[in-house]
Structure 1
């Protein structure tokens, strides 16, 4: 609410001027859109894949399931900076293993400049974060699955329920607490994303992958402390506006064992 920046000795109260200027800024509006797309996409994908892996790796007769669990979870314990540099190499348009693999299998027409093409750069960062965080969601879902009494499934077998009906009427309702935790944590975490974007693209090309936290960093690096603080407040409000209703809605759908 002030015009505080590195070039001013006197700080003046300006009311909501910083907020008005932010929403009038095309770059900030794109940043806001990128943040929401990134957050919702990663949240959906990591929860869908996490649940899928959890169901598959909760099967008692699957050999080596503990090894597979470790493999899926391993990316989550690696620092995001390391993951970022790893995927920068993987996505390299010439020497990257992704394009080389596509070319090897005769799919060279699918090869892209994954991090420098504005049309797919955000998608590439989303896929990187999904790969990194799916294991965390899987572990929470595994814990929820293992807490479901096996007698429920035995009773459904007697009633002639197939696998799909068990999933819809037993597994998903009783996994509601795990779904709540996973979705809320994912939404909050992805709306605050910073390191992954910074390492992979630094918000580029242009501002195709700019998110609110990288925008805040750029404001502070330019000495525009008032604008940076206003953007930070907007991010905090956004997290509450989205996260709280989602939490309340999901909590209502939870079923007690």
Structure 2
């Protein structure tokens, strides 16, 4: 019996650190990308994937985000069947999409729907950076535009959590067209008196940051999130100057008036609930 328990070889994952390498049982532990400290995965999950030592906000999947915000069993998904095609016949694009679909369980890199946050109804969209790095293609633009239209018709607020590396190169100009498509849908929603809350998470860059992610009635971000259009290296080469160390972080954007607030993940649900209550018809 003891031989059966202790005699078998176990698989280990090596995690590098400044002191060398540390072997931990695979899947049991997780290293913080901010401070390199190692935690039990269940501890990380309990803290909403925020490091309890340094406060680093690790990425959440779309459904982890939804579970952290919505009242239990109130979220209803919209347009789950929508997925990207390959309009330019880009080599291996379909194979890469199928790989990410299998890895994430999603048809595309955004989940849309509606539900209750502390009993307040809201439409919702959340991007998942695990799917093609959250890059925006025609399917993502379509799903977001439809979600905004649904919010307008149902006269409920719209909240979007962005996480994206920018436009999806495999779809060329069709991906860039989604910037205008989503922005127009949001303008119609705003003209009808709708409330839009945008929350930018790490990273929110490229065409996403230059369109729907930045035009909310409230523009928020999580701590440390990278937010910007072009990359640091490109900007430095263009202006021939060295940029500040915190350039394009959420804190930098807040300091320069590009955000309304940087919100810790543990405070996110309560903050959104307060805003939804404030903007309810007849709310005080």
TM-score, normalization by structure 2: 0.23
Greater fraction helix: 1
* Bigger RCO of structures 1 and 2 (CA < 8 A, at least 6 apart): 1
Largest Rg, 1 or 2: 1
TM-score, normalization by structure 1: 0.24
Greater fraction strand: 2
